[in-house]
Amino acid sequence: MTASVVVLDHGSGNVRSAVRALERAGAQVELTASFDKALAADGLLVPGVGAFTTVMAGLLRVHGPRVIGRRLAGGRPVLGICVGMQVLFDSGLEHGVATTGCGEWPGRVERLQAPVVPHMGWNTVAPDPGSQMFAGVQNERFYFVHSYAARGWELRTDGRTPAPRVTWTPYGGDRFVSAVENGPLWATQFHPEKSGDAGARLLRNWVGTL
C-alpha cells in the first residue's frame, strides 16, 4: 500500500520540489494546511525557508506545533527540513530577537560562527554508523543553504529510551547539527529534495519507515 504524506502548507514559499521528490520516493503526497489531513497522513513533512520567526508564525497560523506534538505522542512520523528542522528546537535567535520554537528538543538555533555566511552549497555529513536515515548514503554530500543552525545538542536520555542519532557537519572551523533521528521525529538542516541521488535515497529511506 502506498504511504500517504502531507507536506504542511504554512506559507513557507516554494515547496513543490519537496512534493515532487516525495512522489518520486514512492509516496502519495498532498500539500495542505488541513490539521485533520496532517494528523491522519502516514507521514508529515514540515518544510521551512527564510527566517525562524516567519516560519514559526506560519506554523502557528495552521496549528503546526499542535499537530506535530499530537503525531509524535502517537509515534507518527514527522520529517522537518531546513528551517522546518530549526523550529523543532526550543528557540531561535536572529538579529538579537529570540523566538519560541516548537520545543521538541532543548536548545537554541543561532547564527553560524564561520568566516563566510550563509553556508551555501554541498557539504559532508558525519552520521552515526547505525543511522537509518543515511543508509546507503553515509559518505555522500548534501545541499545546504542557511545562516543559522543548532550548534550544540542538549537533549539527554534517561538510559531507558534509545538516544537520538545526531549527525554533524563541519563548517568554517565550527560544526552544527545537520540531521537528527529521534524515534518518529527526523529532521535535516540540508535540503534532501535538492541533493540529487543522495537526497532521493534519504527520502526513500524515510518513506520506507511509514
> Which residues are the active-site residues?
82, 191, 193
Instruction: Give strand pairing partners of 45.
Output: 7, 79
Q: Provide the grid cell at 88.
A: 523543532
Sheet of strand 4-8, all strands in order from the earlier edge strand to the far edge: 28-32, 4-8, 43-46, 78-81, 185-188, 174-182, 165-171
What is the helix (H) or strand (E) element at residue 53, kind and residue range?
helix 52-61
Q: Specify whether the CB–CB gap between 168 and 125 falls below 8 A.
A: yes
Q: Are strands 78-81 and 185-188 parallel, antiparallel or unpaired?
A: parallel
Using CB atoms within 10 Å of the CB of residue 116, give its burial: 0 to 12 exposed, 13 to 18 middle, 19+ buried.
exposed
Q: CB within 8 A of 152, min separation 6: which ones?
A: 107, 177
